[in-house]
Amino acid sequence: MTVHRPFPRFTRRSLLKGTGAAFAGLVLSPRFAMAEEEKKLSFYNYDTYIGETTLDDFNKATGIEVKLDLFADGDELFTKLKAGNPGYDVIVPTSNVVERMVKANMLMPLDHAKIPNMKNIDPSFLNPTFDPGRKYSLPYQWGTVGIGYRKSKVEGAPDSWKWLLDDEKYAGRIALLGDQEHAIGAALKYLGFSYNSTNIDELNKARDLLIKGKKLVKKYADDNGQDLLAQGEVDLTMEYNGDIAQVMTEDDDLSYVIPKEGSNVWEDTIAIPTGAPHPENAHAFINYIFDGEVGKGITKTIMYATPNAAAKALMDEAYQNNPAIFPPADVLAKCEYSAYLGEEAVKVRDEIWTAIQAA
């Protein structure tokens, strides 16, 4: 049966496309009219992980308005961007997340020519295994995972993971980081294995240790162990060094130590996700951050170790010589970076973590 169509046939798809295009044209046209990008930037970061005035200063210097959005952990960042970038320009993924995102084509290559302040970066950071040649990411801050503790409640320095994982003495006064990477990693380290082990026997031993140690632990904390420590809810907590350094400035009774078995050393990077609406502004922002004075402003607020050599040189000696921030070389030598181990390894670790939670 043939039907005479007096009008051109609209399929639903073409109709949708047409309306969409018209709509987009309506909304986007002012952008194209301008010679350059609109003066906007969307920055996706952890909370309290930028200088107090950095974003305002950047706005004053360039006229670009920065919209700050926060994520709680690297997995949240990854999940959000996996479904398509909803409009972020600059993000702060950890080294292993960078590796994973690069594999999934989720990061935009950086144009080093637009970031002259790269010269301020300590050269030892310029060729890491997770991003050879720094094609996709630049180092933002780095640090370690260790044990924060209350000196008056703990006898001596808890210089071993044993204190948290395998010792009844402080049962119920302990918090561990509540994610599989670090909780399992610490158990592996205590047992003498690698933080990044994929050996199933080793992982099972770590699992058994953590299950046995559950009665010691009060809480698997979400990166707020420092607050539990400051509030007196726990006396020992596994945490990132900068978080402990921040609460140490308020409370003299707190301290931080890296266990003698070794631990995790991490690097948070700064990168541009695929599909970023304002890549030019993003480059300008990244360049701005690596300025010496700007870097100093950031470091003064967040108290992490900066790979920005110019910024470090501008800081006072108390910072430069703080062992909680810059651990001695021999301690650091025993620490490992978390590597991206592939999806299969992620699955195995997740099953172990679920088993620990179920027990």
Partner 1 sequence: MEDWKTNRNVFWTLATPGTLWLIAFFLVPLAFLFVLSFSSKAMIDGQISINQYDYFSGLTNYLRSFNPDIVSIFIRTLWWSALATLACLIIAYPIAFGICFAPDRWRPLLLMLIVLPFWINLLIRTYALMAVLRDNGLVNSALGAVGLGPLPLMNNTFGVIFGLVYVYMPFMVLPLYATIERLDKSFLEASLDLGGTQFQTFRNITLPLTMPGIVTGVVLVFIPCLGTFLTSELLGGTSSWMIGNVIQSQFGPANDWPFGSALSLLLMYATFAVLAVRAFLSRNSKGVDV
Partner 2 sequence: MAALLKPGQGPLDYGKRRWLRAVFVAVLVMLYTPILVLIAYSFNIQNRGGIWKGFTLENYAKAWHNSDLMSALLNSLSIAFISTIFATVIGAMVAVLLWRFRFPGKAAYEGAMALPIVIPEICMGVAMLLFYARTGMMTGMTHLPWPLNLGTPSPSPTSPCFPFVAVVVRSRLVGFNRQLEEASKDLGASEWQTFTRILIPYMMPGLVAGALLAFTLSLDDFVITFFTSGPETVTFPVKIYSMVKTGVKYEVNAASTILIVITIVATVIAMKLQAPDKAGH
> Could you list the residues that contact partner 1 (CB under 8 A)?
73, 75-76, 78-79, 82, 100, 103-104, 179-181, 214, 217-220, 222, 231-233, 342-344, 346-347, 350-351, 353-355, 357-359
Out of partner 2, partner 1, none, which partner does residue 358 contact, by CB within 5 to 8 A per kind?
A: partner 1
Nearer Cβ to partner 1 (273/307) = 273
Please give the residues from 264 up to 303 whose contact with partner 2 meets the rule CB under 8 A: 275, 277
CB-nearer residue toward partner 2: 109 or 232? 232
Which of 46, 161, 193, 288 binds partner 2 (CB under 8 A)? It is: 46
> Residue 179's binding partner, choosing from partner 2, partner 1, none, with beta-carbon cut-off 5 to 8 A by kind?
partner 1
Q: Which of residues 200-259 bind partner 2 (CB under 8 A)?
A: 222-224, 226-227, 230-232, 243, 247, 250-251
Residue 219's binding partner out of partner 1, partner 2, none, with CB under 5 to 8 Å set by partner kind: partner 1
Rounded Cα distance between 259 and 192, Å, is 12
**Residue in 176, 183, 214, 136 with CA at minimum distance from that of residue 338:** 183
Interacting partner of 57 out of partner 1, partner 2, none (Cβ under 5 to 8 A depending on kind): none
Q: Provide the 8-state DSSP code for 159.
A: -
**Residues 178 and 73: beta-carbon distance below 8 Å:** no
Residue pair 302/49 in contact (Cβ under 8 Å)? The answer is yes
Distance CA 58, CA 65 (A): 8
Q: Which CA distances in Å does 265 have to 70, 196, 327, 339?
A: 23, 12, 10, 11
140 binds partner 2 (CB under 8 A): no
- H helices within 160-308, ranges in order? 162-165, 180-190, 200-212, 225-230, 241-248, 279-289, 292-302
Three-state DSSP at 309 gives helix
Binding mask 147-176 for partner 2 (x = CB under 8 A): ------------------------------
Q: Please report how the helices 54-62 and 292-302 are oriented relative to each other, as an axis angle in degrees rounded to 10.
A: 160
Please state whether 223 falls in left (phi above 0), alpha (psi between -120 and 50) or beta.
left
> Binders of partner 2: how many residues, by CB under 8 A?
37
Quick count: other Cβ atoms within 10 Å of Cβ 73? Answer: 16
Beta carbon of residue 216, minimum distance to partner 2 (angstroms, whole number) = 23
Shortest spacing between CB 252 and partner 2, in angstroms: 12
Q: Which of 15, 22, 61, 68 binds partner 2 (CB under 8 A)?
A: 68
Q: Which residue has the tokens 């044209």?
A: 25
Question: How far apart are alpha carbons 71 and 210 in whole angstroms?
Answer: 28
Q: Tell which one of 60, 67, 119, 169 touches partner 2 (CB under 8 A).
A: 67
- Contact flag: residue 15 with partner 2 (CB under 8 A): no
92 binds, options partner 1, partner 2, none, Cβ within 5 to 8 A by partner type: none
Instruction: Work out how close the CB of 217 gets to partner 1 at its nearest, in angstroms, rounded to a whole number.
Output: 5
- Choose the one of partner 2, partner 1, none that binds residue 190, judging by a C-beta under 5 to 8 angstroms depending on kind: none
70 binds, among partner 2, partner 1, none (CB under 5 to 8 A by kind): partner 2
Cα distance from N-terminal residue to C-terminal residue, the chain:
67
Classify residue 358 by burial, with Cβ atoms within 10 Å: 0-12, 13-18, 19+.
exposed
The residue whose two tokens read 């921040």 is: 246
Q: Name the pairing type of β-strands 137-150 and 236-240.
A: antiparallel
**Where in 71-110 is the site for partner 2 (CB under 8 A)?**
71-73, 79, 83-88
Q: Which residues pair with 65 in a beta bridge?
A: 40
Provide the binding-site residues for partner 2, judged by CB under 8 A: 20, 24, 27-28, 42, 44, 46-48, 67-73, 79, 83-88, 222-224, 226-227, 230-232, 243, 247, 250-251, 275, 277
